[in-house]
C-alpha cells in the first residue's frame, strides 16, 4: 500500500482540527480546543483503484514561516492550506505562505481551502472570495461535512 504524508496548515482557529476530525471520524464539535505542536493520525482511502494510506498531520496554527519547525514538513506529499472564510485576517498571508511551502516542498500538491462556509451568506461568500488572492481548490464546512471527503479524495488522486 502507498503511504502519503499530508499536512494541514493555516492560521489558528480556521478549522484544521475540525476538518481532520470530520474526515477521520465524521465528528464535529462547536467547542474550540487549540492544537499545540502536531497530532498525527491516518486513514486509508481508495484513489484510482488503489489503496492509499493518508498520514494526516494536524499542526498548530502558527505563522508558517517562523513558528512551525521545518521537520514537520519533511517528506510531505500533500499540503492542505486552510483559511477561515469568516475571518479575513486568515487569508492575509496566503501568498507568502504558499511561496514558502512551494520552496520547502517542491513538487508537493497544495490545496487551498476556504472553510466555515456555513457561517456565510451567498453574498458574503462572494465577497470573501474576492478578497482571497488565489483561487480556492475547495470551499468546505467542517461543521456540515460539506466537501470534506472530496477534498481528501481529490488530493489522494493527485498523489497516486
Partner 1 sequence: MTLNRHKYNTRFHKHQIVLIDDKGRLFESCDSIFDSSEYIGLPLEDHFYFFESELVNFQKSAATKTKFEKVKVNFKSLPGYYDFVLSKIDVNGQNCVLWEIFDYTTIYNEYLIIQQLRNEISIIEQYVSKYQSSKKQDDDNFFQSNFRSTKNIKLSDLIKELEESKFDLFSSISVWIDKAYIEKGITELKECMSGLIDEINFFVQQLKASNYEEVNISDYVSSLIAKNNNDQTATIYSTSYAEGIPKKLFLDKKIIEKFIRILMMQGPGQEQLVEKSLRMAYEKSFEGIPFLVFNFKEQVESVSNLTSTSACILIKITILKSLVNMIGGTLKVKIDENEAYITTDLFFPLK
Residues that bind partner 1 (CB under 8 A): 3-5, 12-13, 30-42, 53, 55, 60-61, 69, 71-72, 74-75, 86-89, 119
Q: Report the residue number, 36 or 107, with the smaller CB distance to partner 1.
A: 36
Measured in degrees and rounded to the nearest 5, phi and psi for residue 43 equal -145, 140
Residue nearest to ligand GTP (CB): 61
Q: Report the residue number, 52 or 117, with the smaller CB distance to ligand GTP.
A: 117
Position 143 contacts ligand GTP (CB under 6 A) = yes
State how far the Cα of 65 lies from the Cα of 42, in Å rounded to an integer: 25
Among residues 14, 12, 13, 7, the alpha carbon closest in space to that of 114 is found at: 14
88 binds, among Mg ion, partner 1, ligand GTP, none (CB under 5 to 8 A by kind): partner 1
Binding mask 6-45 vs ligand GTP (x if CB under 6 A, - otherwise)? ------xxxxxxx----------xxxxxxx----------
Among residues 7, 35, 27, 33, the alpha carbon closest in space to that of 152 is found at: 7
DSSP secondary structure letter of residue 144: T
Question: 3-state DSSP call for residue 34?
Answer: coil
Amino acid at each position: 500500500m502507498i503511504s502519503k504524508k499530508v499536512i494541514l496548515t493555516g492560521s489558528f482557529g480556521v478549522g484544521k482540527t475540525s476538518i481532520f476530525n470530520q474526515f477521520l471520524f465524521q465528528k464535529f464539535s462547536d467547542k474550540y480546543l487549540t492544537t499545540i505542536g502536531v497530532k498525527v493520525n491516518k486513514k486509508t482511502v481508495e484513489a484510482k483503484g488503489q489503496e492509499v494510506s493518508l498520514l494526516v498531520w494536524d499542526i498548530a496554527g502558527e505563522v508558517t514561516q517562523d513558528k512551525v519547525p521545518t521537520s514537520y514538513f519533511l517528506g510531505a506529499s500533500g499540503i492542505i492550506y486552510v483559511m477561515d472564510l469568516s475571518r479575513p485576517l486568515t487569508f492575509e498571508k496566503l501568498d507568502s505562505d504558499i511561496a514558502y511551502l512551494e520552496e520547502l516542498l517542491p513538487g508537493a500538491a497544495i490545496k487551498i481551502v476556504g472553510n466555515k462556509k456555513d457561517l456565510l451568506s451567498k453574498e458574503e461568500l462572494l465577497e470573501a472570495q474576492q478578497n482571497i488572492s488565489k483561487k480556492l481548490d475547495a470551499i468546505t464546512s467542517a461543521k456540515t461535512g460539506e466537501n470534506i471527503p472530496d477534498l481528501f479524495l481529490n488530493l489522494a488522486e493527485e498523489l497516486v
